[in-house]
Structure 1
Amino acid sequence: MLDIADELNRWAEEGRDFAVATVVAVGGSAPRGLGAALAVDSDGTAIGSVSGGCVEGAVYDLCVQALQDGRTLRERFGYSDEDAFAVGLTCGGVIEVLVTPIRAHAPVVTAWLSAAARGEAVALARVARGPVELLGGALLVRADGSHEGSLPGHPRLDRTAVAEARAMLDAGRTGGVEISEDGSRCPGGVTLIVESSVPPPRLIVFGAVDFASALVRVGKFLGHHVTVCDARPVFATRARFPEADDIVVDWPHRYLRRTDTDHRTVLCVLTHDAKFDVPLLEEALRLPVAFVGAMGSRRTHEDRDRRLREAGLTDRELARLHSPIGLDLGARTPEETALAIAAEIVAARRGGTGVPLTGSRTPIHHDADERPPVGATEAA
């Protein structure tokens, strides 16, 4: 539901009744991932998507049904060999959706929506598969382990669900967890769908150059909290970067030392000036961040590499540097360059190869921890 949480929170604040269909299981080449949602209110207004169009009509009807009878239900949609135009996923994938009338669990779900809209770190754990009496049960779990709501059943079920949801929230992950009905961590009885709302990942752009403005716009489009940092106050201005969340005038390496970063943070060094980027990269390549990239020609890269080695960086640390930054798209303009940089960031995050899908046998939808081993092939 995170993709439509802001709008759903507005509906909840207005006192609307609505039902939400959430993708709780995915198989094959499904167009949307876990947590994708479509919602319908009592007036028939719909927002969101669970399939990119394949089964939206059928899911809409299920939401209307849930609103009418107040019951949570689960439905599976897959490809139909007999009739490719019947309700199903013609891409060949399979999705399962959990359809929940929100009024049935309003205090928990609406509290989660409100917290998500405020940018707080909070997880919603719901029973996506299990006994009928558990289906749709919900828990709101905060980073400190406190929670609201309860899952009917064995007393240990809540404790285990809270612990699992808290672990996924700490990792910023949305996904499924299998536990037994008695609350043990052994699979076999209950499947939870845990949706983690965490503050947006940071993108810090070092260097208020002409390419930076386009990268800021792309970063915002991808959902990052974007900061521009440059030591030169004449360039690091709100007028030049109106879309940035923060503009910092400071030496890049000094700012990086004092600001907060985490395993999702992306650092893009666009200065291609040794006096700025060498001390900055000395700091950046030793931080546990998601991505470190630096702009510059191949000659600039070679000189930078030499300077960093002289500064004491190891081969392992230098291997983390994406330089020259960006995928080879033949980019020329700042906008094209920003697209090439963003494409490499997404590929690094999701485990993509950067090769065209046409003619390749790489999976279309996958994450970095699902990348097949070297030499393996997998049909899309």
Structure 2
Amino acid sequence: MLDLADELHRWCAEGRAFAVATVVAVTGSAPRQPGAALAVDADGTVIGSVSGGCVEGAVYELCQAALVSGESVLERFGYSDEDAFAVGLTCGGVLDVLVTPVPADGPDRPVLAAALATAARGGTAALARVAAGPAHLLGRALLVTPDGGVTGTLGGTEALDRVAGLEAAALLDVGRTGTVEVGEGPGEGIATPGAGGTAAERPARTGSRCGEPVTLLVESAVPAPRMLVFGAVDFAAALVGAGKFLGYHVTVCDARPVFATARRFPGADEVVVEWPHRYLDSQELDHRAVLCVLTHDAKFDVPLLERALRLPVAYVGAMGSRRTHEARLDRLREAGLGERELGRLRSPIGLDLGARTPEETALSIAAEIVAVRRGGTGAPLTGARTPIHHDHRAAWATGPRNGLPASL
């Protein structure tokens, strides 16, 4: 539900009652991932999506029913061989969807409102909700902050809240959204023998040796990933728009003050006048960051890329012709970079779309970033045998897809 934080935060502030349906687990081919949400208020207003259209009508009705009953439900939607037109995912996937009512005076309303407020302002927190387990716990929630603080209760034992808080904190630490099993009972929620570590260090579904298992959906709200665009050129202006469309916090950096101005890049979150390598040295970037070098000028490119290719960021791309690229590689080798580091460089930048204009070039760059992020090939899907939705386990904000037991 945190992916609807801006709107749901406003609904909470207005005192609206609503129900929210959240994707808990995905099996096979499906268009949305765990954490995707659809919400319906008491007047029937709907926002969001859980399936891209396949089961929205049925989920809408479940939300309306939950508003009346006041009870959370877990529903499974999948393709029906007997009736291809029945409610289900004709793409062949299976979705587990948690539907939770949020009345104006509900016990979890303050916890959910706090989580939505944090996510809406770009803060960091994890929201853990019971997605499967004892009926009286379904939908209950607690909020975990980066300092280890826990607000709310899952309605079970103190041990359950304590272990749930630890597991949610582990997923928050790596910025993942996914499911994890803990124990409901007097014990400590011990992981399945041999699993080892916390949820962030092992496959997202673990077990327990104490009490009835409880499956938690943990949604992590983390600041937007960063896109650093080096070179205040026309291509940069178009790429800023593409980056914002994809949800990045976009910074444009150039050493030339006449070009690096907020007026030229009104869509950027920041415009910085500084030598690119010096600016990069001053930043703390995480594994989600993408760096796009559009200067194709050796005096800027080489010192910048020498540093960038040694950072644990998600993507480093550089603009230039193939001849420029080969000359750049020679200079980077002279600067001491090895072939493994040079192999991380995406250059010439972007996918082969036949792009000509700045806007088309920005699209090709954005497409390559998405392909790297999601594990795609960039090849046409028509006639291909590759999966449409890749289970790519690179370290990005949303973690791997996690399934619930088939018996649910």
User: Fold conserved (TM > 0.5)?
Assistant: yes
What is the 5 A alignment of 1:30-45? 30-45=30-45
Is 1:159 equivalent to 2:183 in the alignment? no
Residues 157-205 of structure 1: CA deviation (Å, up to 9, x unaligned) = 1122111111111111111112233422231612111111110000000
Tell me by how many angstroms 1:123 deviates: 0.7
Contact 1:157 1:184 in 2 (8 A): no
Is 1:265 equivalent to 2:268 in the alignment? no
What is the 5 A alignment of 1:240-279? 240-279=264-303
Q: 2:230 aligns with which of 181, 187, 206?
A: 206
- Amino acid in the other structure paired with 2:161: D
Is 1:355 equivalent to 2:379 in the alignment? yes
CA distance in structure 2 between the partners assigned to 1:358 and 1:164 by the alignment: 41
Tell me by how many angstroms 1:260 deviates: 2.4
Q: 1:184 aligns with which of 187, 190, 200?
A: 190
Is 1:140 equivalent to 2:140 in the alignment? no
In the other structure, the counterpart of 1:100 is 100
Root-mean-square deviation (Å): 1.2
In the other structure, the counterpart of 2:344 is 320
Tell me by how many angstroms 1:319 deviates: 1.2
CA distance in structure 2 between the partners assigned to 1:201 and 1:40 by the alignment: 29
In the other structure, the counterpart of 1:174 is 177
SS at match of 1:368: coil
CA distance in structure 2 between the partners assigned to 1:2 and 1:109 by the alignment: 9
Contiguous gaps of at least 5 residues in structure 2: 193-206, 395-408
- Amino acid in the other structure paired with 1:168: L
CA distance in structure 1 between the partners assigned to 2:29 and 2:391 by the alignment: 13
Residues 96-123 of structure 1: CA deviation (Å, up to 9, x unaligned) = 1111011331011111001111111011
CA distance in structure 1 between the partners assigned to 2:163 and 2:383 by the alignment: 45
In the other structure, the counterpart of 2:400 is none
Residues 321-377 of structure 1: CA deviation (Å, up to 9, x unaligned) = 11111111111111111111111111111111111112222211124328xxxxxxx
- More deviation, 17-26/162-171: 162-171
CA distance in structure 2 between the partners assigned to 1:178 and 1:299 by the alignment: 53
SS at match of 1:195: strand
Tell me by how many angstroms 1:298 deviates: 0.6
- Amino acid in the other structure paired with 2:111: V
In the other structure, the counterpart of 2:399 is none
- TM-score normalised per structure 1: 0.95
CA distance in structure 2 between the partners assigned to 1:194 and 1:361 by the alignment: 33
Q: 2:390 aligns with which of 362, 366, 372?
A: 366
In the other structure, the counterpart of 2:87 is 87
What is the 5 A alignment of 1:56-67? 56-67=56-67
SS at match of 2:97: strand
- More deviation, 350-359/121-130: 350-359
In the other structure, the counterpart of 1:113 is 116
- More deviation, 278-287/101-110: 101-110
Contact 1:9 1:113 in 2 (8 A): yes
- Amino acid in the other structure paired with 1:137: R
CA distance in structure 2 between the partners assigned to 1:293 and 1:180 by the alignment: 45
- Amino acid in the other structure paired with 1:185: A
Residues 27-56 of structure 1: CA deviation (Å, up to 9, x unaligned) = 111121111111111111111111111111
- Amino acid in the other structure paired with 1:95: L
Is 1:338 equivalent to 2:341 in the alignment? no
SS at match of 2:184: coil
CA distance in structure 1 between the partners assigned to 2:141 and 2:223 by the alignment: 22
Contact 1:77 1:95 in 2 (8 A): yes
CA distance in structure 2 between the partners assigned to 1:258 and 1:195 by the alignment: 30
Residues 244-265 of structure 1: CA deviation (Å, up to 9, x unaligned) = 0000000000000012211111
Contact 1:294 1:323 in 2 (8 A): yes
Q: Which has the higher contact order (CA 8 A, sep 6+)?
A: 2
- Amino acid in the other structure paired with 2:321: S
Q: How many residues align?
A: 370
Contact 1:119 1:198 in 2 (8 A): yes
Contact 1:348 1:368 in 2 (8 A): no
Tell me by how many angstroms 1:74 deviates: 0.9
Q: Percent identity?
A: 73
In the other structure, the counterpart of 2:7 is 7
CA distance in structure 1 between the partners assigned to 2:309 and 2:391 by the alignment: 23
In the other structure, the counterpart of 2:246 is 222
Q: 1:122 aligns with which of 110, 122, 125?
A: 125
SS at match of 2:137: coil
Residues 135-171 of structure 1: CA deviation (Å, up to 9, x unaligned) = 1111101111111011222332112211111111111
- More deviation, 323-332/361-370: 361-370
Tell me by how many angstroms 1:91 deviates: 1.3
CA distance in structure 2 between the partners assigned to 1:45 and 1:352 by the alignment: 35
SS at match of 1:309: helix
SS at match of 1:293: strand
CA distance in structure 1 between the partners assigned to 2:391 and 2:298 by the alignment: 34
- TM-score normalised per structure 2: 0.89
SS at match of 1:343: helix
Deviation beyond 4 Å, 4+ runs, structure 1: none
SS at match of 1:205: strand
SS at match of 1:127: strand
